[in-house]
Chain A
Amino acid sequence: DSGVTQTPKHLITATGQRVTLRCSPRSGDLSVYWYQQSLDQGLQFLIQYYNGEERAKGNILERFSAQQFPDLHSELNLSSLELGDSALYFCASSVRSRLNTGELFFGEGSRLTVL
């Protein structure tokens, strides 16, 4: 158990819909990262937050947005869903600050299926 909690574990929805994925980081971790993994391949970095502020952006579509709340949990919002958005979405947290990433602790992921 990494200590990172993601909900829901599985989600099936239709094209054009909007979903929200939730992540609770490990206790004490200030950084939260979101990654997308398709077809059991490598992880695509989407976005990172540190203590409530956006720290870095990767290949995140404009239809996607995220935020980190004062209690440090984070949400990834996916809208106008397309078939190609079907993937595993991972949240990870890190204890490190702005200087370096350090070890990432991953949740079990949220599997999104868009039909």
Chain B
Amino acid sequence: TQLLEQSPQFLSIQEGENLTVYCNSSSVFSSLQWYRQEPGEGPVLLVTVVTGGEVKKLKRLTFQFGDARKDSSLHITAAQPGDTGLYLCAGETGANNLFFGTGTRLTVIP
């Protein structure tokens, strides 16, 4: 079983602050996805990164895939209350399985 550990597990910050969430594994993934889940709903895809070292930006969110394709980070600039939610990374193996990380619960206080 591929283990994807996310840190921090919980994060509470003030509106306007910056933050970084990390997703680490000892396994190599063919691609890595980031999802956000809000209470009472299923996760929704934010981005997919496939190339080692790849950086993708989605407005105030910046995603990076590690050079060795074992880790990833999500950086949020000037966090807003609407960013509140559970952030999940998910790594895809060559066996066509998608394994989810342990999750980071972000709370942005107005």
Contact = CB atoms under 8 A, between A and B. Distances in A.
A12 to B, nearest CB: 17
Contacts of B40: 108
B58 interface: no
Interface string B81-108: 0000010101010011111111101000
A90 B105 CA distance: 18
B92 A56 contact: no
B27 to A, nearest CB: 14
Interface string A93-115: 00000111101101111000000
A59 B96 CA distance: 15
Contact of B88 (A33, A42, A99): A42
Interface in A60-95: 90, 92
Contact of A45 (B43, B98, B103): B98
Contacts of A59: 1
A89 B58 CA distance: 29
Interface residues of A, number: 27
Interface in B29-56: 30-31, 33, 35, 40-45, 48
Describe A's contact surface by its main secondary structure.
Answer: loop
A42 B95 CA distance: 20
A4 interface: yes
A48 B101 CA distance: 18
Contacts of A109: 41-42
B103 A90 contact: no
Contact of B45 (A90, A100, A104): A104
Given A40-B105, A41-B102, A100 B42 contact: no
Interface of A: 2, 4, 33, 35, 40-45, 48, 55-56, 58-59, 90, 92, 98-101, 103-104, 106-109
Interface of B: 1, 4, 6, 30-31, 33, 35, 40-45, 48, 86, 88, 90, 92, 95-103, 105
